[in-house]
Structure 1
Amino acid sequence: MEQLPTRDALRKRLVQIESDACSLSEEVAETDDHLFTACSFACEVWQDIMAWCRLPPLFAFSISDIILYHKTVKGNKEHIKMVKPIMLLGYWSLWKAPNELIFNRIKTKAAMIVQQVKALGFRWIKASSKRGLMTEEQWRTFEFG
């Protein structure tokens, strides 16, 4: 059984919900793998994040593919170090999007999620690493070195 309380998981737990369709794309049942990897909305978010990070497109089939993606990245050491927190922020932001829609009636666009990942990522990485001297321009262009 799915661990996350997606619409499909709630339905399986006999929670009464209007529909088990994905709240972001309304394509198919909202399972955890769909929400984070197969949903057209999520795919757009990941595509934009990968382009910003100058990484090849992400082909994920499960949540673990996303969580472990940073281990497959090759290149500049500084660049690689930034990928894990960015992926976690993307994952967390994608989880928040359906909740914002359901509980607050706020429909989020993929570009807004990417902007949120960039803004939170900059503050998080700058505050928690030796990258204290990193500039916003370096972060915006993803140029380190």
Structure 2
Amino acid sequence: MEMDRIPTRDALRKRNINIEDSLCPLCRSEDESTEHVFTSCFIASTVWNGISSWCKIPSIFAFSIRDLLEYHTVLRGSDRKKEAVQGIIIIACRCLWRSRNKFMFSNSPIRMDIVISEVKALGFLWFSYRSRHKGIEWKDWISFVNM
């Protein structure tokens, strides 16, 4: 994502692949680039607002992929919370891209509440089993306490 290697319409066009319509299929307001899909698209903005609210952190406003990936460094709080937010942002990017692909290839509508629920579930699995901060309960994770 940071190296702009995700096959967005803009990236495919730069690789000389004939793309008739380069607009974002989700919002139809700008060309579909990596920056747009993950930071400025209405879908992404709504997901970032939902995640900010859930994690009880200031709103996530990212103007670039770098801003998004470094957001956790400006947070106040414990290292545990910063690591959790970093992982959640990465998982959310994956979920956004997956939802975009479902929309593109299966004509499946994007529901932001489903995307956020998927981020919560995958984030819990990662944080409780793969991070160095094991042992969090689902009820604590879902309310984002003890971070």
**TM-score clears 0.5:** yes
- Partner AA of 1:75 in structure 2: G
Cα distance in structure 2, aligned partners of 1:132 and 1:32? 32
Do the aligned residues in 2 keep the contact of 1:73 with 1:80 (CA within 8 Å)? Answer: yes
Q: Evaluate the alpha carbon distance shift between residue 132 and residue 3 of structure 1 in structure 2; reply closer, same or farther with a 3 A threshold.
A: closer
Cα distance in structure 1, aligned partners of 2:114 and 2:28? 19
2:121 maps to 119
- Give the drift of 1:2: 4.2
Q: Deviations over 1:36-66 (max 9, x none)?
A: 1110110000010011111101111111111
Do the aligned residues in 2 keep the contact of 1:45 with 1:114 (CA within 8 Å)? Answer: yes
Cα distance in structure 2, aligned partners of 1:48 and 1:75? 20
Output the aligned Cα RMSD. Answer: 1.7
SS at match of 1:86: helix
1:66 maps to 68
Q: Percent sequence identity over matched residues?
A: 35
TM-score, with structure 1 as normaliser: 0.91
Do the aligned residues in 2 keep the contact of 1:93 with 1:113 (CA within 8 Å)? Answer: yes
Cα distance in structure 2, aligned partners of 1:142 and 1:46? 16
Cα distance in structure 2, aligned partners of 1:135 and 1:2? 36
Q: Aligned to 2:106, which of 82, 104, 107? A: 104
Cα distance in structure 2, aligned partners of 1:100 and 1:24? 11
Q: Deviations over 1:67-97 (max 9, x none)?
A: 1111111113332221111010011111222
1:33-52 equivalence runs, <5 A? 33-52=35-54
TM-score, with structure 2 as normaliser: 0.90
Count of aligned residue pairs for this structure pair: 145
Q: Which runs of 5+ in 2 are unaligned?
A: none
2:32 maps to 30
SS at match of 1:133: coil
Deviates more, 1:14-23 or 1:81-90: 14-23
Deviates more, 1:113-122 or 1:1-10: 1-10
- Spell out structure 1 runs of 4+ moving beyond 3 A: 129-132
Do the aligned residues in 2 keep the contact of 1:78 with 1:144 (CA within 8 Å)? Answer: no
